[in-house]
Amino acid sequence: MKDTGKLNHNRSPLPLVAITGTRGKSTVAWLLYQMARARQLATGLWCTSGVFMNGHLLEGELHPWTAIVRALVAGELDLAIQELEAPVVASVGLPEASYGYAAITTLCGNDDSCLFALETRYAARAHEIVARAVHPMGTLVLNADDPAVLELAERSDARIVLFGLHPENPAIRRCRETGAPAIWCQEGAIVANRALWEIGARTASQSLLRSEKSTVLVAANTAENHGEARPVDSQEWDNGPEIQLLDARDAPCTLGGTLTFQIQNVMCAAALALALGVPLTTIRAVARTFLPNPAVLPGACNLFPLQGRDVLIDSARYPWMLRPLIRGIRQRNPRNTFVIVHDFPWLTTQELHEVGRILGKIRGLIIVYGAASEDRLHALREGIVQNPMPPVVALQQSLSHALRYALSLSRSGDLCLILADNALDAITTLERIEFEIA
């Protein structure tokens, strides 16, 4: 990470973007990457699935990323995006004032119990390091719905941009009243204020995104070219200080606007894109077509249509991650829901009880696969029956058996949720069964 370069506080920051958080960082990184690609920007990305340059996966990680940063410094690239893992950042650190842009997606949401976990303490430390690594002339995007993330605004010298699910969130309301940059959801629509757009307008006018200097060019006629090659959208702001980007329901990754954490991810990526000067037309077009690709985002709410059913694969690991997922599924109101789940071996029995209580809110069937102990099955079941009308619980020996069982019972209009301990295995299993029944 030391190859990001040590920039003097008095120099303009590079268009180098850091993205971190306990959930959503990969989705945000890929959304922003696709927005940049659609804008015809020469862009590099280092994420959990590898290092990419203009749509191509490069061999290795550290060596190609070093080459990307050097190209960025030399003006041969327009943008570089780096997804940061908390344990690495907390252990190694980051050079201060090295990033022009950063985003912190979430820590625990509003779940205070999450704050005491060792993994969370590492993440909190990493988030503070990332906040301080943003150049004073740079932009830091923060989740206003997460108090532990929001408080980082006081620890950074960078320009702060907030995103939140409701216009009456106190921090968002304060931004709207004072003219500070923000993006939020209002009556189902994602809305940004002029202050956020003006950051990008200044970025474009100062040529921080140096498309004309790039020696690595993106083909103008690719399928990803959704946007117009123009730096600003000033005519769209003629009617007032706020503008609707898109209806959240039009972003397919939100499952018709029901998955609030995906709405937050779209807002976070849109905030970064606006601050980088990406046109509204590009942001809208990408948001309206983006779905987490299972090849590069396994377990990130991957959606598979299967003979009238929806199969959703997610890697939620903790109760606080499950709550918004189950809430969104219930709001979507499928005919029946089939949940395929393991015994979450990293959770305590008390946490597993809470998982059961959350899953027990669905209407349908819960299928537990694998060799779970009696104690853990008891904790899960005890949580499930806390609900007024708990679903039936069935046991299967493997993920393959569980999925086949669920598909044999489900019909068109049903939803099958796979909470996988290994998302890649779940995707491979589903694709194999899909091929067999095609």
Lowest-pLDDT range, 50-59, 104-113, 252-261?
A: 104-113
Rounded average pLDDT over 225-239: 51
pLDDT attached to residue 73 = 93
Rounded average pLDDT over 9-28: 89
Kind of pairing between the strands at 302-306 and 309-314: antiparallel
Kind of pairing between the strands at 364-369 and 182-186: unpaired
Rounded average pLDDT over 123-127: 93
pLDDT attached to residue 186 = 96
User: Can you give the pTM of this predicted structure?
Assistant: 0.90
Residues of the chain with pLDDT > 90, as a percent, come to 81
How far is residue 86's CA from residue 17's CA, in Å, rounded to a whole number?
16
CB burial of residue 49 (10 Å; 0-12, 13-18, 19+): middle
For residue 339, give both structure tokens.
Answer: 């949940």
The DSSP element (H or E) to which 328 belongs, if any, is: helix 319-332
pLDDT attached to residue 384 = 97
How far is residue 259's CA from residue 332's CA, in Å, rounded to a whole number?
9
pLDDT attached to residue 436 = 86
Q: Which residue has the higher pLDDT, 365 or 436?
A: 365
pLDDT attached to residue 241 = 87
pLDDT tens-digit series, residues 152-178: 999 999 999 999 999 999 999 999 999
Residue 215 in this model has a pLDDT that exceeds 90 = no
How far is residue 206's CA from residue 15's CA, in Å, rounded to a whole number?
12
Query: pLDDT tier at 3 (50, 70, 90 boundaries)?
Result: very low
DSSP 8-state code for residue 292: -
For residue 22, give both structure tokens.
Answer: 């306990």
pLDDT tens-digit series, residues 81-100: 999 999 999 989 999 899 99
Please say whether the beta carbons of 296 and 56 come within 8 A. no
| Sign for the pseudo-dihedral over CA of 330, 331, 335, 338 | negative
How far is residue 414's CA from residue 172's CA, in Å, rounded to a whole number?
37
pLDDT attached to residue 67 = 96
Q: How many CA atoms lie within 13 A of 396 on its CB side?
A: 18
- Domains, the chain, ordered by start: 2-287 (3.40.1190.10), 302-437 (3.90.190.20)
Question: To 5 degrees, how large is the angle CA 145–CA 326–CA 347?
Answer: 85
pLDDT attached to residue 9 = 58
pLDDT attached to residue 115 = 72
pLDDT tens-digit series, residues 282-312: 999 999 999 999 999 999 999 999 999 999 9
pLDDT attached to residue 223 = 36
Residue type, 124: A
How far is residue 91's CA from residue 72's CA, in Å, rounded to a whole number?
26
